[in-house]
Amino acid sequence: MTDPMEALRHLQFALTAREVELQPCELYPEIKVLLDHPNDIARFTYALLDGSKVQAVALFAMAAPIEGLTCFNIGYAVAEQLRGKGIASSLLERAIKEMAHGFSRTPMKAFYIEAIVSTLNEPSNRIAGKLVSATREEGTDAFSGEPIYQYVRKVECAA
């Protein structure tokens, strides 16, 4: 299980150093997106900015397919001083719609999203339960050995 806050910090550093350039989303231009390939794995990073300051991120990294369909492991993080205001939920909901909209122009008809969340992270579990799936599977994270909940949702791409 990776920590999405690390991605938020890395994105802030890269923006400050002018190492990356974000593009406005099509449906929600106030949200910016970056497609990169760390370790040769496609990753979409959706970011909410205040000027050049990263407020929140929603990450979608390619994962193992589910039922033959592309799957993205998702993560989300909000700057500490902005937590508890619904920013993560709002960003994640719009990012999912933006992904479905973007893929609707491709042969892809649907994809899966998967959230792997520590059982101890109540705010993230509430978001995943609301936006990914009301049902969850218990398990153990393969990397950390921590107990986790896995949430999975099939997302249809609008035509």
pLDDT at 62: 96
pLDDT at 90: 97
This prediction has a pTM of 0.94
pLDDT at 97: 97
Mean pLDDT by runs of 10 across the 159 residues of the chain is: 87 95 97 95 96 96 96 97 96 98 95 97 96 97 92 91
**Residue 100 neighbours by CB under 8 Å, 6+ apart:** 111, 155, 156, 157, 158
4 neighbors 76 (Cβ within 8 angstroms): yes
For residue 95, the domain's CATH number is: 3.40.630.30
For 35, 75, 87, 152, the CA distances from 112, given in Å and listed in that order, are 18, 14, 23, 7
Tally of structural domains, the chain: 1
pLDDT at 109: 95
pLDDT at 21: 94
| Domain coverage including residue 33 | 4-156
pLDDT at 143: 85
pLDDT at 3: 86
